[in-house]
Chain A
């Protein structure tokens, strides 16, 4: 089957970030003094386990970033026609989850729909009963076999996962042993995650593990797709924040005088507007612009994607002020240092002093601020989507999932699984990010003076 790759705006930015990340890692790898704090991070078992969880999320997000449009079977004068639906490699991997949609809500592991319907049986009688699902538990004859089948599949899947986990651990053994890592914690975490994933995969082949939503989509699929949105909000935003805060903050602190006054004025004005209101105002304006220019977008995915990028841009433009203030304070302190004064008296240009002497010395502040901001941004996305100024309603995200499920709160019995799934995935992602951020802060904060290597 032929396809054409599609690079959406957010994809390009993710690739840019990825390249920047790899380049930075390469740069740090060969410099012992930069590597030292990272070694401290690597010794913490909490940090390494959170990193393991985070990298699973990132892997899903990256696979979900490789977009393409598949070719349709019919041809137009010998030219291949591509489907207007933009898919990703991740969609292809979990295709059964994506295409097996039911009619409407069903509970996790259910084999029938959630509400009674009129069914016509083989004799032509009309009954009020729970209709069977098209895919969930379709291989079972009736409800009574379900629990046994679920237990069997969970056990077999878990065993398979355990085996795979052990193989991975054995495969990486030599590489891991050379390094000073918390091996036992990593091994336990790897095996636990492998068991969980193994069981989920085997169960997901026959059931909707987390149920289905209003239009019958699998909630597990929706949750996994939401990961990319959350990660993009958390990371691409920093692409905007970082240059603004770095250049303006350092310039304000180093040059003082009118430069400082102007920059301080700008960030005081921005930060005096309550952030949700500023974001809301900017997003409303963006919506008007997008709605009045429908000709800019060839697919709905492109439109939703541009909205996501614009949201990141807005979040970045409204949230650089805190970091800028920190960096200005640090630059004010650094400019009085002897080595800066030495550079000045040697006649080194201001630009060079800024880039060679000041910026490397504020990097730890930037790093700590970035990892701390990540989880706040992931949580903010859900709130903004609720307020109505978040991502495009057609884009799958934790916020849109919660928003859709919230409307069903009043139903009896309650539709709880979509909410639980969104909150659960968000909790795991944010908790892992928070724990990792704490470890990074502890390792990089120069106030915690350490002498050991």
Chain B
């Protein structure tokens, strides 16, 4: 088991190197630091001196890959690639444009992000699976058709509508919770309740429909017929036999997103003013703070790859047919 996990992690390294090279190319080769400086300083105030100063303040005045002037190891280490890109492998993200440590921001902002993303994920999973099981129970009846129609309708509505509509109805008309903001500790509940509710409601259409297809595929199999022939009730067949076997395809889609929960949700967080990583990313995009965007890209892919590894491990746990090879 441990060798398997170690090997999987070793496989991840070339992929992270690829991500790193790709972001480096995007941010430093396609657009040179000079372009970035011009953009940040504004078209009018650009002088060669101002650009040099801007680059020097941020450490962008070094050669890209190789510094032939330097001595020994400094040839490689005293470059933009080494200091800005390769350093991310030890999770050294450097500083944002306003001079704050990105690493510290990430650590402090993970909490609020998780406070929303984790309950949304858990409640959502239970809700979607139950709804899908209900539709499967009443399959090929008017209830099932109505359920599928509802799913298609819900998944055709823009995610922005759920947020704006929810904020309008719950916060503005009913005054149940504040429109936006965040508070630590127990006070957080009234701020996170609505984002969680909206997050769950927003995903119900596509997820429930997807799970329903999985259950329907499972229900046509032989073991289900055997279970019925033994005289088990339909409910028991569904909840113990079908649900257990359908876990395998469901796991593929579910486990992979667990590490990404740390990143939070871009839309929800910025609409509700939650100081999490999602709103951090949006602010960085709007302020064109490239170092933060680069850090988030790298962090996001690292978490995604962690999710892939977790998926493989969870397979071996739920499906005895899968061998660690």
Which A residues are closer than 8 A to B by beta carbons?
265-266, 268-270, 272-274, 276-278, 280-282, 284-285, 287-289, 291-292, 375, 379, 382-383, 386-389, 398, 402, 406, 409, 414, 419, 423, 426-427, 430-431, 434-435, 438
Q: A277-B293, A284-B288 are in contact. Are A406 and B156 (CB under 8 A)?
A: no
A409 touches B35 (CB 8 A): no
B23 touches A382 (CB 8 A): no
Which B residues are closer than 8 A to A by beta carbons?
14-15, 18-19, 22-23, 26-27, 30-31, 35-36, 38-39, 43, 152-153, 155-161, 164, 167-168, 172, 260, 263, 266-267, 281-282, 285-286, 288, 290, 293-294, 296-297, 300-301, 304-305, 308
Cross-chain contact of A273 among B14, B19, B39, B160 (Cβ < 8 A): B19
B297 touches A383 (CB 8 A): no
- Assembled-state Cα–Cα distance A379/B14 (Å): 33
Cross-chain contact of B285 among A269, A379, A388 (Cβ < 8 A): A388
B158 touches A419 (CB 8 A): no
For the complex formed, measure the closest distance between the CB of B178 and the CB atoms of chain A, giving whole angstroms.
13
A277 touches B300 (CB 8 A): yes
- Assembled-state Cα–Cα distance A285/B35 (Å): 10
> 8 more A-B contacts (CB under 8 A) besides A423-B158, A423-B160?
A272-B305, A281-B293, A379-B159, A386-B267, A427-B161, A434-B152, A434-B156, A435-B152
A431 touches B19 (CB 8 A): no
- Assembled-state Cα–Cα distance A398/B160 (Å): 11
B27 touches A281 (CB 8 A): yes
Name the prevailing secondary structure of the B interface residues.
helix
B281 touches A277 (CB 8 A): yes
Shortest 4 CB-CB distances between A and B: which pairs? Answer: A269-B18, A431-B156, A274-B300, A430-B156
Q: Kindly report which residue of chain B lies nearest to residue A423, judged by CB atoms.
A: B161
B152 touches A289 (CB 8 A): no
Q: Kindly report which residue of chain A lies nearest to residue B148, judged by CB atoms.
A: A438
Which residues of B sit under 8 angstroms from A419, Cβ to Cβ?
164
- Assembled-state Cα–Cα distance A218/B18 (Å): 48
Cross-chain contact of B168 among A277, A379, A409 (Cβ < 8 A): A409
Q: A276-B266, A292-B38 are in contact. Are A389 and B285 (CB under 8 A)?
A: yes
For the complex formed, measure the closest distance between the CB of B181 and the CB atoms of chain A, giving whole angstroms.
14
B266 touches A285 (CB 8 A): no
- Assembled-state Cα–Cα distance A163/B18 (Å): 63
B267 touches A383 (CB 8 A): yes
Which residues of A sit under 8 angstroms from B300, Cβ to Cβ?
273-274, 277
A409 touches B157 (CB 8 A): no
